[in-house]
Each structure stands twice: as structure tokens, then as C-alpha cells.
Structure 1
Amino acid sequence: MTGPDELSGPSRTPAGAAPPSRLRAADLLPVAAVGLRTRRTRAVLSTLGVAIGIAAVVSVLGITRSSQADLLARIDRLGTNLLTVTDGRSASGREVPLPVTAAATIRRTDGVRSAAPTAELPGVQVFRSDRIPVTLTGGLSVRVADPSLLPTLNAKVAHGTYLSRATSAYPTTVLGHATARTLGIRDLAGTPRVWVRDRWFTVIGILEPLELAPEIDLSALIGPQIAARDFGYGGRPSRVYVRADVTRTAEVSGLLARATSPESPDEVDVSRPSDALSARLEVADAGTSLFVGLGAVALLVGGIGIANVMVIAVLERRAEIGLRRALGAARGHVAVQFLVESLMLAVAGGVCGVVIGAAVTYALALQRGWQPLIPPAAVGAALVTAVVVGAVAGLYPAMRAARLSPTDALRTA
């Protein structure tokens, strides 16, 4: 009777017959590794094909998970309850401005926590100097805003202070982050000034970046009083930022159009800026599927490479196979030897691929400032896939080696 660690035939033998050939499980790996040790370059190249495919899959899934986690954290931090109400268009395509009372009626809407009206002044630009041609605007604009804008957007001032009821009546301005950078103003040292149409405005503050309000980043903000006195501002907003109750954002979004313009609610545009960030999650998922598919193709090529190497190994080692068969090795022993050899190649490639993919994920995540995340399911699936690829790739060569008869193998060796 054989022990539990032996691969053998039936435990009972007829009287006078030779005992069945045995291959202990403890000897299986050393025997299967003979071909790998004697043909190291070929083994490394075969392993590399599987490693590339596994590394591609693991790194793509890890990078995607890390970036999505960072994006979700940013969405949670910025808030999904910010809504914007902007000028709409009529059925004929004509732009319809918001009514002067838009901000006041929106504030009275149930579920609205705050509302901040803003208006871009057409034809009014901001420059660093009065010597710059008016055509070189740099994409910057001048926007009217009141003190309610800062709390509504959850914005922060990086330098200086924000507009107040007192400073709004004077030629003072608060620059968006991108505006200050474009104008070359890093801080408020030296009391910087900017040229707005035909007069100087003193910069009293610079905002931190506003990801959900990029138009504010590209604007110089002035108060309604100075805008009315110097630029003819009539109090009509072009955009109203609305902060709703978190649990009622969707409900409030459906009420804002009618609250803004009861007579023509279809001519008011209501949007949620965070939807643009959420859409990036779907784009990332689509890109992930594409790159995982490419990784699967690379893994398939690696599996074909292993199968090719194993077939060549069977042809080259006919003398070894014939000698082992002549010394009593069973067909199953030869088949298992070559199958295990193929599995060893694939598993080695899978482990190397996981390590490479994890290293790529960590390097890119740390460079981008993300928290590195590698899904455990991706690692497990990668290793299981490597084993399956090795088994499938080694099945035909193993069966071919097992079918060789000792006399034919020794005769053709």
C-alpha cells in the first residue's frame, strides 16, 4: 500500500509481478524543475510573457481603484449639494437672462440653505497693467459677486480677505486662483493693483482653487455697488450658486427652475457641478475595461509562449522520456511532470506580474498624491488566472509526452 504522499497505481499486485512504479509527491517538484534549471533563459522568457499580462491587469485595476478613491474623496469633500442656475434659451434659441429677483426667490425655496448671485460683466476685462492691449485678455473676466458667495461655495481665501459690504463700494477686487496666477500675483505683498477697463482696482484677496466653480477661478470679483456705479450693472445675475440640504438636493434641483422664473421655467438651466466629477468615474471604468482587455491579450500570448516552449521541451527530451519509461515510469508520471513544469512557469510569471503591477501602482499613486489601493480580488484573480493559463498551456505537451513509447523515444533520440 502506498503512502498519502505517493502517486502510484493500484496498491495490490498479482503474485510474481513487479511492483508498480511510484512517484512521491515530494519528488514531483524537483523532477519537474529539471527542465527549468537546465534551460534557464528559455524559462525566464516564457515567464516574462505571463508576468507582463498579469502586471498589466493588476496595475490597471490598482491605479483605477486608487484614482477613483481619490475622486470620490474629493466629491465628498466638495459636496454634491451645490447647484447652479444659469441663463437658459428660448424655443427659438435666443438666450434668456435670469430675472433680477432670481436670487431672492431661490433663497425662499424650501430646502435651499443659501444662494449667491454672480454676473459676468460683458466687455469688461482685467489686466496687470494699463499698457497691455485689450485683445490680450488671457481668458479672464470680471464678475460681480457679493459676500454670500464665499460661504455658498465653501470657498477659502488664500491671501488677504474677501469682499465685504464696506469694500464692495470701493475699487477693490478679489482674484480667483487661476486669475492671480495668470496675472503674476502670488500674494498681497506691495499692495498689488490690476487694471479694470479704465481704472485701477486694489487686490485685497486671492481665493484658493474652486474645482466646482472654475469660472470663479478665472475671474476678478468686484462688489455690486462699484459695478453699478462704474460699469452700469443693473443687478441682473447671469449665474446663481445654490447650496441645498444634502438630503434634498434632487428635490431642490427640480424646484429651482420654477422658483427662478415662474412664467418660463423651461428657459432656465439648472445643473449640479459635481456631476462632471462623477462622470469621470464612468470614463475611468471604460478605460479600465480597455486596458484589462489588453492585459488579457498579453496573458494569452504568454500562455501560448509557455505551450510552445513545453512542446519543444518534449521534442528535445525524448531520450529522457524514453529512459524514464524504460526504467518503469508510468504514462501518468511523465504527464504530471510536464504539467507541473508548465504550472511552475505560469505561477512564477503570475507572482512576478503581481509584484510588478503593485510596484507600478504604488509609484504612480505616490506621484499623484493618491492613496495606493490594490484590490485583493485582483491579486487573487491574477494568480488563479496564471494557474489556469499554465494548466491549459501544459495540457497538450504533457499528453504528448505521456503517449511516447519507450522504444520509439529511445530510437528517435
Structure 2
Amino acid sequence: MDPSSPAPVTPVRLSPGDVLRLGLLGVRTRKMRAALSALGISIGIATMIIVTGIPASSQQAVRDQLSALGTNMLRAQPVPDQDPPVLLPPESVGMVSRIGPVTRVSAVANTHAVVRRSDLVDPFDGSGLTVLASRNDLLEAVNGRVRTGRFLGPASAEFPTVVLGYLAASRLGITTLVPGQEPPQVSIDDHWFTVIGILDPMPLATDLERSVLVGWEAARTVLGFDGHPTVIYVQAREDALEDVRAVLPAALNPQLPGLVQVSRPSDALAAKRVTESALSALFVGLAGVALLVGGIGVANTMFISVLERRREIGLRRALGANRGQVRGQFLTESVVLSTLGGVAGTLLGVVATVGYASYQGWPPVVPVLAVAGGIGGALVVGVVAGVYPAIRAARLTPTEALATV
């Protein structure tokens, strides 16, 4: 080789740090434009977080309300009008509790006693009310609540005390219990029982609203109750509710499971499942629209940036920058803008969602996928939105770019 000839030019390889600094160059030198571009994508990502977080919080509130009604509850009882009558074993609660997905079990039993407001009322006029022997854990099994007073407990259940269902209290003329005053009494088969509590309405257990609940042991000793439950209330995991329903009859009456009938899952559970699937589809649609709008904004900004910076591109190409380096610079700038907007939008969306849900009294729910999708989606949008402007910038030759200066 001729020593006087110039040495071949070796292309300069840029490190990832150099590419990042070049990408940040446009952000630093055009701060207002960069801020507005990041604002566009941040609004899109914040919208995605909000349109998924707020409906998810509302949906969780609806799920909590439906679950409080008893969407995971089943009711098992003997088939009526059999001769001789079908009796469930006294050990029914323990037998059912051994079923894996079952979370709570309780029972009541019809004592066939008559309740009256006073002993002056017709002995055969029970006001259409049923006197039930109740286990102490019944309230938890049916998701019931005490309106006033208290429920049966280990101490009171052995004494002549009763808790009135919502409609039973109304028919007996006992609507409230005043602390400090002597509690009212009712007559059950000529035995006086003290009223210690009144229940709230129970839409999914209306039979208990018309009932007078007596402690299990008190019903045995005072009313002659034989210990055989007549209704078993079961709570189980919602995902296994149908399986539990299928095995309940055999668990309660292994010899004749056909003589035990079990209620189907409540319509509230079906409504809950339909609501979840419908809202999930809505979330996906809204999130897609929000990301599309943000991506169009970034693509538009980067395209205009290429047009405005033709001189810079021409100078860099004239100084030796190859097409790959120019392409990497503008693609990096697009990703940086989108990432900054994605992080800001995610934070804004989370704060707005938590604030609105708290204001409405809902449990704040920010889907993890929405947060991850906010930042990850911003990266994807930045890459997609920056590809064409970056390719367009790289195709400019030095003479073509400088010709417009």
C-alpha cells in the first residue's frame, strides 16, 4: 500500500450510553416540545389506568356487596312430604364440614312450637312465624347482621333467649331493643323467652326473616327438640360451589341421597360472574383505544421532529454518522419520550384511581396488569411510533438534508 495514501476510515461504533445521550439531546434542547409530547402519551396511559382502575374498584365493590348477600351459599334440607319424614343426622354439620371446599356450615331445626307476643293471644295463632333451634354460628354462615341487640352465644344459647328475624320482629311488634331497659319477652309453647336481638333483612335467606331463633341447647331442654337439623346452610369457595352441591346429598344421607334437596347457586352469583366477564372485555377495549391515541401523538411528534431537524441530520451525516446511528438516535428519542410519559401517566392514573375510589367509598383496586401495561405499553408505543420517523431520518443523504438549510 502507498504510504502517502490516506488510511481507510473505520466507522465509529457508538456504545449504548452514547446512543442514549444522543436520544436525550433532542429532549434536552427542545424541552417544551418534549414535555408536550410526553404529556400526550402520559394522558393516554393515565386514561388507560383510570378506565381500568375505576371500573375495577366499582366492580370490587359490587362483588363485595353480592358476596355479602351470600353468593357462595347453599341450602340443604330433606325432601318434604315424605312418609315417614326424612331426618338428617344430628352430626350433619360435622359431616358437611369435612368436604374440602366448604368454608362454613351451620344449621337450624324446626321445633314446631308456636310463638305468641303474650299468653293472652290465641294459643294456635303463631302469626305465621316459625320457631327454629339455631346453632351459635348461624349468622356467619348466612352472612346475616344484627340490627339491634346481640346474637345467640355460648352463654345465652342455653337459656330461654331468642333472636327475632326482621319480619318476625315486625309481626310481634318488637322493632328495637333499648339498652338499659328491660328487654321484651315472647311466649313459646307457654314458656317465656327473653328477646336479646333483632336481625337485619336477609334477601338470600328470607325464611330466617320470618323466624324466631332459639339456642340449640335451650330448644332441647325447654321445647323438647330432638336434635335433628332440618336445614343445613353451607358456604363454599365460589369456584367449587357446583361440585359441593353435587356431593352434599350423599354426605348428608349416604343411603338415600335422593331424599335430600340442595338449592342451586343464587342468581346473584350468576350476575356476579356475568358482570366480571362483561367489564373485563370493556377494560381491554378502553385500554386499547387509550394506547392508540397516545401512540398517534408520539408518532406525529417524532415525524415533525424529523422535518424540523433536517439540518442537524445533514450535519451529522456529513461528519460521518451512518444511517444506523441516525436511526438509533431518533428511535431512542421516541422511546425516551414515551417512557417518560408512561411513568408520569401511570403515577397520575394510580393517584386519580385511588382518590376517586376512596371518595366513592369503594375499595381502591389498581390492576397490576394495568400498571405493568402502562409502562410496558409506553415502551412498545415508543418503538412503533418512532420506527418510521427514524427510518425517514436515516434515509436522508447529507446533500438532501443540507439543501433545505
TM-score by length of 2: 0.62
State the Cα distance separating 1:84 from its structure 2 match.
0.8
CA RMSD of aligned residues (A): 5.4
The alpha carbon displacement at 1:210 in A equals 6.1
Indicate whether 1:254 and 2:249 are aligned.
yes
Tell me the CA shift for residue 398 of structure 1.
0.4
Of the three residues 137, 151, 156, the one matched with 1:151 is 137
How many aligned positions are there?
345
Partner of 2:343: 351
Q: Distance in 2 between matches of 1:314 and 1:369?
A: 47
* 3-state SS of paired residue (2:107): strand
1:164 to 1:18, Cα distance in 2 relative to 1, 3 A: closer
Give the 3-state SS of the residue equivalent to 2:133 in structure 1: coil
Partner of 2:383: 391
2:49 maps to 55
Identify if the C-alpha distance between structure 1 residues 62 and 32 changes in structure 2 by more than 3 Å, giving closer, same or farther: farther
2:317 counterpart of 1:333: no
In 1, Cα distance between the equivalents of 2:167 and 2:328? 67
1:154-233 equivalences in 2 (<5 Å): 154=140, 159-160=149-150, 162=152, 167=160, 174-176=164-166, 187-189=177-179, 204-207=196-199, 213-215=204-206, 218-219=209-210, 221=212
In structure 2, C-alpha distance between the alignment counterparts of 1:325 and 1:84, rounded to whole Å: 79
Q: Distance in 2 between matches of 1:362 and 1:47?
A: 21
Equivalent in the alignment of 1:293? 285
Per-residue deviation, 1:252: 4.9
Structure 2's unaligned 5+ residue stretches are: 98-105, 118-126, 187-192, 216-229
Deviations 1:214-244 (A, max 9, x none): 42675463679xxxxxxxxxxxxxx823459
Q: Deviations over 1:178-226 (max 9, x none)?
A: 988xx9956434568799xxxxx98541237868x542675463679xx
Query: What SS does structure 2 have at the residue aligned with 1:388?
Result: helix
SS of equivalent residue, structure 2 residue 178: coil
Provide the C-alpha distance between the structure 2 equivalents of 1:384 and 1:60, rounded to a whole number of angstroms. Answer: 20
Match of 2:308 among 287, 312, 316: 316
Preserved CA contact (<8 Å) 1:351 1:383: yes
Q: For the structure 1 residues 303 and 29, does the alpha-carbon distance in structure 2 shift closer, same or farther, using more than 3 Å as the test?
A: same
Q: Distance between the aligned counterparts of 2:52 and 2:23, measured in 1? A: 28
1:15 to 2, 6, 10: 6
Alignment partners' CA distance in 1, 2:258 and 2:245: 20
Contact 1:178 1:209 in 2 (8 A): no
Gap change, CA 1:406 and 1:283, over 3 Å in 2: same
Matched-pair contact (CA < 8 Å) for 1:111–1:244: no
- Which residue is equivalent to 1:134? none
Tell me the secondary structure at the aligned position of residue 42 of structure 2: helix
Residue aligned with 2:88, SS: helix
**CA contact 2:74–2:233 (8 Å) conserved in 1:** yes
Q: Distance in 1 between matches of 2:150 and 2:28?
A: 74
1:26–1:292 distance in 2 versus 1, CA, 3 Å: closer
- Native 8 Å contact 1:49 1:303 kept in 2: no
Q: State the partner residue of 1:228.
A: none
Q: What are the ranges of 5 or more consecutive residues in structure 1 without an aligned counterpart?
A: 1-13, 89-95, 127-140, 196-200, 225-238
- Percent of residue pairs identical: 31
Cα distance in 2 for residues equivalent to 1:345 and 1:17 = 38
Among 37, 46, 50, the alignment partner of 1:43 is 37
Is the 8 Å Cα contact of residues 185 and 192 (structure 1) preserved in structure 2?
no
Deviations 1:51-85 (A, max 9, x none): 2354247636974997799799x79xx896x6313
- Cα distance in 2 for partners of 1:44, 1:165 equals 70
* One-letter identity of the residue aligned with 1:105: L
CA separation of 1:280 and 1:177: change in aligned 2, threshold 3 A: farther
Aligned residues of 2:163 and 2:195 also touching (Cα < 8 A): yes
Kept in 1: contact 2:165–2:211 (CA 8 A): yes
Asked whether the equivalents of residues 310 and 394 of structure 1 are also in contact (C-alpha less than 8 Å), the reply is yes
Residues 1:111 and 2:95 aligned together: yes
Residue 28 (1) aligns with residue 27 (2): no
Q: Distance in 2 between matches of 1:56 and 1:244?
A: 34
Q: Does 1:270 align with 2:263?
A: yes
**Distance change (3 Å), C-alpha of 1:59 and 1:223:** closer
Deviations along 1:251-270, one digit per CA (max 9) or x if unpaired, are 7513379789x69749x443
Structure-1 residue corresponding to 2:101: none
Q: What is the rounded CA distance, in whole Å, between the counterparts of 1:397 and 1:178 in structure 2?
A: 75
Equivalence for 1:92: none
CA change 1:240–1:271 in 2 (3 A) is farther
Change (3 A) 1:325 1:336: same
